Amino acid sequence: MYSFEMARPTSVADAVSALAQDEAQALGGGQTLIPTLKQRLASPSVLVSLTGIAEIKGVCMTDDGQVAIGGGTTHATVAAEAGGSYPALASLAAHIGDPAVRNRGTIGGSLANNDPSACYPAAALGSGATIVTNAREIAADDYFQGMFTTALDEGEIITEVRFPVPEKAAYIKFEQPASRFALVGVFVAKYADGVRVAVTGASEEGVYRWSEAEAALSSNFSPDAIKDLSVSGDGMISDLHGTGDYRAHLVGVMTRRAVAAAS
């Protein structure tokens, strides 16, 4: 690693001030950033740890019935505390990485990084969540802008994520066994006004909604409704773990499994 200074703010306001320094970078659970520093792929002069900010931690229900999760909340906490209000989200969190990752990694860190194979982006987009920062509120449909790219401005901090609770939902992923990232993962959520389907791990553009499946499932929420649908392998990730065509095939398989699990 390169040498750097460490700031440990205890409030969002202090964190925002610390991030205003030249070459400062936020540090959540460090599950991506620390390995990046070890490989000398990043060299911030100041790391601003968000782990000491109590106001961005925890799981609760809002007055309008949404599940609100602080940006600094660990995956393990989401798994333990969201089960009664949003079981599909809690199950997703319970299967991220391994116990060490779940006890350090945070939902805000995952969404800020927007890894193309991460699980939380599928949950946020599939639920139509709202990403709340120190400066504004961003709809999930506007937040994700491509691989490792989001609508966040420099120095902006995710303080909370609000999830509308669906009538039915499930997340199914085909794991890459070494990393436990999703080779392909699909989050399906049925609301009174329609169905949302979000796919992670497959596309070179990152997480995306499968609109054809949404339309079919909004009319008939069953695996049979999408049995004849398919996606193209063009634009899909192709690597040593699987070709683009293989991932395209998995999108259909995982979606049908998610619908069956939700039903």
Q: What is the pLDDT along the chain (263 residues), one digit of tens a residue?
A: 668 888 999 999 999 999 999 888 888 888 888 778 788 877 788 889 999 999 999 999 999 999 999 999 999 999 999 999 999 999 999 999 999 999 999 999 999 999 999 999 999 999 999 999 999 999 999 999 999 999 999 999 999 999 999 999 999 999 988 877 899 999 999 999 999 999 999 999 999 999 999 999 999 999 999 999 999 999 999 999 999 999 999 999 999 999 999 99
> Do residues 159 and 65 both lie within one domain?
yes
> Do residues 18 and 72 both lie within one domain?
no
Say how far residue 41 (Cα) sits from the centre of its chain: 23
Neighbours of 119 (CB within 10 A): 26
157 and 136 in contact (C-beta within 8 Å)? Answer: no
Domain span holding position 228: 168-262
27 and 49 in contact (C-beta within 8 Å)? Answer: yes
> Do residues 146 and 179 both lie within one domain?
no
> Do residues 123 and 138 both lie within one domain?
yes
Domain-terminating residue out of 143, 163, 183? 163
Domain-terminating residue out of 134, 163, 192? 163
In whole angstroms, what is the distance from residue 230 CA to residue 95 CA?
Answer: 27
Q: Could you give the number of structural domains in the chain?
A: 3
pLDDT value at residue 145: 97
Give the domain CATH number at 255: 3.30.390.50
> Do residues 97 and 144 both lie within one domain?
yes
> Do residues 157 and 176 both lie within one domain?
no
Tokens of residue 164, six digits: 């509308």
Domain-terminating residue out of 133, 163, 193? 163
In whole angstroms, what is the distance from residue 119 CA to residue 250 CA?
Answer: 16
> Do residues 27 and 107 both lie within one domain?
no
In whole angstroms, what is the distance from residue 203 CA to residue 106 CA?
Answer: 23
In whole angstroms, what is the distance from residue 78 CA to residue 35 CA?
Answer: 24
> Do residues 103 and 159 both lie within one domain?
yes
CA distances from 23 to 138, 149, 169, 245 (A): 25, 18, 41, 40
In whole angstroms, what is the distance from residue 127 CA to residue 196 CA?
Answer: 7
pLDDT value at residue 29: 86
pLDDT value at residue 189: 98
Tokens of residue 59, six digits: 């799981």
In whole angstroms, what is the distance from residue 124 CA to residue 255 CA?
Answer: 16
pLDDT value at residue 1: 60
> Do residues 179 and 132 both lie within one domain?
no
DSSP-based three-state secondary structure for 171: strand
Which amino acid does the sequence have at 214?
A: E
> Do residues 222 and 144 both lie within one domain?
no
Contacts of 13 (CB under 8 A, 6+ apart): 134
Tokens of residue 69, six digits: 């999760």
Say how far residue 257 (Cα) sits from the centre of its chain: 20
In whole angstroms, what is the distance from residue 68 CA to residue 70 CA?
Answer: 7
Give the domain CATH number at 34: 3.30.43.10
pTM, 2 dp: 0.95
Give the domain CATH number at 83: 3.30.465.10
> Do residues 191 and 222 both lie within one domain?
yes
In whole angstroms, what is the distance from residue 254 CA to residue 263 CA?
Answer: 14
pLDDT value at residue 45: 83
DSSP result, 38-58: HTTS---SEEEE-TT-GGG--
Contacts of 147 (CB under 8 A, 6+ apart): 114, 116, 204, 205, 206
pLDDT value at residue 132: 98
> Do residues 40 and 71 both lie within one domain?
no
